[in-house]
Structure 1
Amino acid sequence: MDRDAVVAIYDRLIAGHAGLVRKGKATAYTALNGNMFSFVGPDGQMCIRLSKVEIADYGRDYPNDPVIRYNSVMNGYVAVPDALLDDEGALTGWFAKSVAFARTLKPKPTKK
């Protein structure tokens, strides 16, 4: 799936949550309280941040290989495969879990 199509899906997911705003250009992302919890990279790969328990649950149905960006492992993130992108109902549930998890994270001060 091309990046524009993935970003369109991403925008629909974000629109379902009041107060969320997509940020970034080359890497579209969302953050709550200074904690990034989802993104679409320049390569069109969508990734979401989940708790350890949810990552294990996710791994029962989808690959949960480490997400690597800029030569660093993004701990707590899972890549969203095309099969899940094609099932927006299921994806909406996983995105909601990511939002809920982000709300539990300790706020980080912004750099601006």
Structure 2
Amino acid sequence: MDTKKLEIYDALVAQCPRFARKGKTMPYTSANGYMFSLFNKANEIGIRFSKEVQKKYLEEFNTTLYKSYGAVMQGYILIPERMWHEEGTLVNLLNESYDYVMSLPPK
């Protein structure tokens, strides 16, 4: 795991007081019984959205669906590395994702 990239993920999550980073070997965030962001072994960040928002961001960010351990993570988009330093944007995306999972029925 690339510690510098993990530090970027941790710094983004740290700016979101409504939730905290979890996981030692697979860093992630979760709320309401749902994971909504993930830092995988390929050192990639994925964030979960509703189907409509996911479709919009796939086009807007010119990115793909997020994969972890070779499997497509339903509802997640890959955050392109070129966006990782757009702190404000990524913090907003994390908060938007948190709001989305909080709108779902609790697991």
Name the TM tier (shorter chain). 0.7 to 0.9
Could you say which residue in structure 1 is the equivalent of 2:85? 86
Report SS of the residue matched to 2:65: coil
Which residue of structure 1 lines up, in the alignment, with residue 51 of structure 2? Answer: 52
Displacement after TM superposition at 1:95 (Å):
1.6
Number of residue pairs matched by the alignment: 107
Q: Contact 1:28–1:40 (CA<8 Å) still a contact in 2? A: yes
Q: CA deviation at 1:20?
A: 1.3
How far residue 78 of structure 1 moved from its aligned partner, in angstroms, is 0.5
1:57 counterpart SS class: helix
Q: Contact between 1:21 and 1:30, CA under 8 Å: does it hold in 2?
A: yes
Check conservation: 2:58, 2:65, Cα contact below 8 A. Answer: no
Deviation at 1:6, TM superposition (A): 2.4
Q: Deviations over 1:68-97 (max 9, x none)?
A: 223432110001111111211221221221
Query: Comparing both structures, which one devotes a greater share of its residues to strand?
Result: 2
Shift of 1:30: 0.6
TM-score, structure 2 normalization:
0.85
Please show how residues 62-77 of structure 1 align to structure 2 within 5 Å.
Answer: 62-77=61-76
Note the residue ranges of structure 1 that are not aligned, 5 or more in a row: none
Length-normalised TM-score, structure 1? 0.82
Q: Structure 2 stretches of 5 or more lacking a match?
A: none
The whole-number CA distance in structure 2 between the counterparts of 1:38 and 1:53 is 17
Seen in structure 2, the aligned counterparts of structure 1 residues 76 and 59 have a Cα distance that, compared at 3 Å, is same
